[in-house]
Structure 1
Amino acid sequence: MTSKIEQKQKLNEVYHSGVTTIYSARADRRFCYTLYVPRRLAQMDRSKTTILVSVHGTLRMQSQYRDMFAEFAEYNNCIVLAPLFPANVLGDGNMSGYKFMREQDIRYDLIVLDMAREVAEKYSVSDEKLFMFGFSGGGHFTHRFTLLHPDRIKAASVGAPGVVTLADPDKPWWVGTKGAEEIVGQAVDLSKLKGKPIHFVIGAADRETWEITIEEGDSCYMPGINDSGESRQERIRSLKASFARHGALTKLDAVDDVTHEVELVIHKTREFFADVLNGTYIPDV
């Protein structure tokens, strides 16, 4: 007969390590997350474990964003946290609220921080400094989160965002960082970007513009919103340059013959995170 201790151990092995089940977020039960927890975590130095937040795009392929880092997590002492932010959460048809950090009373950045705290408490690891990756809509989230919370980022990888917020204190929030505290509820201190490893990745053939040109009347339209460039290629370069101007240690990887496909660029992000962990990261000159 299986003892209670053995039952608990079996439950932990099945549901709380490796690929986990999906948990509702304690900060707001409308949102949830799944994890990949290294099966060897008990043998690892948990004081050095890093939580890697992997943020989905508009299609909300949550499990894919977890699984892309599963093997990496096993060999690099990371716990992967993949949040899910459903579309239409307020019943208004909006698919993009999470990308801009705030949607009415919802602060998506704070929800992610509490998810990380919840994971850190459960597995006795630190959430002080996070790895973060996001592609497309997740790239929106990742670079804006980094602007708002640079002190919580160990390293960030921004994949092919369609609409960018430049690290520019002279342009209003969404276009730049001016007035973020009034709109989002969090001030931006661009001096904290100095020395921060920030990676940018995109397919070199990712050139469609139909989804990323913001027209007047759109909920996130404001004057200048399209000035960072016509295509994702131009916009990611404008974004990278704006971070670099404030001392971030930036690098851009444009993967040949790839369009808007996360699975074909993710190896560059894994290499970036591994280089940061190993102390071998070399930013662009």
Structure 2
Amino acid sequence: MTSILYTRGSTPLIASQVDPRLHYCLYVPQELPPQAPLVVIQHGTGRTAQKYRTAMREFAEERRVVILAPLFPAGLIDPDDVHNFKFIEYHGIRFDHMLLAIIDEVAARYPVATERFYLHGFSGGGQFTHRFLFLHPSRLAGASIGAPGRITQLDDSLPWWLGTKGFEDRFGQSIDLDAVRQVPVHMVVGSEDLDEFEINNPGESNWMDGCERTGRTRVERLRTLRRNFESRGIDVTFDVVDGVAHSGSAVLPAVQRFFGSLIGR
């Protein structure tokens, strides 16, 4: 009885079968249509997966969608590391593949549409989201990129991760730009997301010289990413949420409006 009880509503954290070091939690409405939409909310450095999942409950019930919040722990391999998933590959772990495997696990238990799903990430999750878009555009029904501290531009003259030079050698595939152009893209940041202490940190493991040229703040860097995308023919819905600093929860209403406009088309 207990196992049945916890398969609906807010689930516990669940260990992934593909790698038990990685976890996820869900919000599953009591009633689901066949092929219910799947919305993935990727956490940032603070790993607040359950917080994001809970904040999306009303949206899930209203839209009859399943919310998946992966949890990729800090301290994998290197106990001091907090950045692993943001750059897709870390010590042989491909976090894009891990997410797709977790989605397969969810699909084995629930009637969700996984061929194309919706992906939002904020801060470190925003880093993951736009890099995932480059690798798997055909899997995305929509991508919402929230306030990334570091961006990867579609520019083969810049080394990874500032740009996409050597992308195919690194990931074993090229970027299908035509497919990326087919994905509805949303970018969102708070107007007061202006602190620099975490994103201007030369010498740290998540720094590359040249990052400073993309802007001093997350607002400036997201505008740089928007310009880069639009110069490549990628349409962007851009939201600056007035009065909001670096808060993933505070920008979720804008994310919900964007995804809501796509679901059920």
Q: Same fold (TM over 0.5)?
A: yes
Identity value in percent: 39
Pick the aligned partner of 2:182 from 172, 189, 195: 195
1:119 corresponding residue in structure 2: 106
1:243 to 215, 225, 229: 229
For structure 2, list consecutive stretches of 5 or more residues without a partner in the other structure.
Answer: none
1:49-64 correspondence to structure 2 within 5 Å: 49-64=36-51
**Equivalent residue for 1:273, pick from 253, 256, 259:** 259
Instruction: Give the aligned partner of residue 151 of structure 2.
Output: 164
**Is 1:32 matched with 2:23?**
yes
* Secondary structure of 1:88's aligned partner: coil
Shift, 1:278, TM fit? 4.7
- SS of the aligned residue for 2:263 comes to helix
- Equivalent position amino acid for 2:6 in 1: Y
Does the 8 A contact of 1:58 with 1:137 survive in 2?
A: yes
Q: In the alignment, what sits opposite 1:213?
A: 200
SS in 2 for 1:172: coil
Cα deviation code 1:64-104 (max 9, x no counterpart): 11112111111213111101111111134110011110111
| 1:8-67 CA-partner distances (Å, limit 9, x unpaired) | xx632x2101111211111111101000111111xx2x13x1111101111111111111
Contact 1:132–1:142 at 8 Å: present in 2 too?
A: yes
Q: Once superposed, what is the RMSD of the aligned Cα atoms?
A: 1.6
> Match for 1:271: what amino acid?
R
Q: Which residue of 15, 19, 28 maps to 2:6?
A: 15
1:109-160: CA deviations, max 9, x gaps?
Answer: 1000111111112113321111001111111111111111111111011111
Aligned positions, number: 265
Q: Gaps spanning 5+ residues in structure 1: where?
A: 1-6, 280-285
The code of the aligned residue for 2:75 comes to N
TM norm structure 1: 0.88
1:192 partner SS: helix
Cα distance in structure 1, aligned partners of 2:216 and 2:51: 29
Aligned to 1:229: 215
- Structure 1 residues 218, 183: closer, same or farther in 2, change over 3 A? farther
Q: Secondary structure at the match of 1:139?
A: helix
In 2, are the aligned partners of 1:144 and 1:165 still within 8 Å (CA)?
Answer: yes
Counterpart Cα distance in 1 of 2:135 and 2:199 = 22
Distance in 1 (alpha carbons) for counterparts of 2:215 and 2:8: 43
In structure 2, what is the equivalent of residue 257 of structure 1? Answer: 243
**Partner SS, residue 247 of structure 1:** coil
Q: How does 1:150-161 map to 2 (within 5 A)?
A: 150-161=137-148
Partners in 2 of 1:148 and 1:227 — Cα distance? 25
Name the amino acid aligned to 1:197. P
Query: Conserved in 1, the CA contact under 8 Å of 2:37 and 2:263?
Result: no
Give the CA deviation at 1:181. 2.9
1:143 paired to 2:130: yes
Name the CA distance, whole Å, in 2 between partners of 1:173 and 1:128.
Answer: 28
TM-score by structure 2 length? 0.94
Task: State the match for 2:88 in structure 1.
Answer: 101
Q: Give the Cα–Cα distance (whole angstroms) in 2 for the partners of residues 89 and 108 of structure 1.
A: 12
Larger Rg: 1
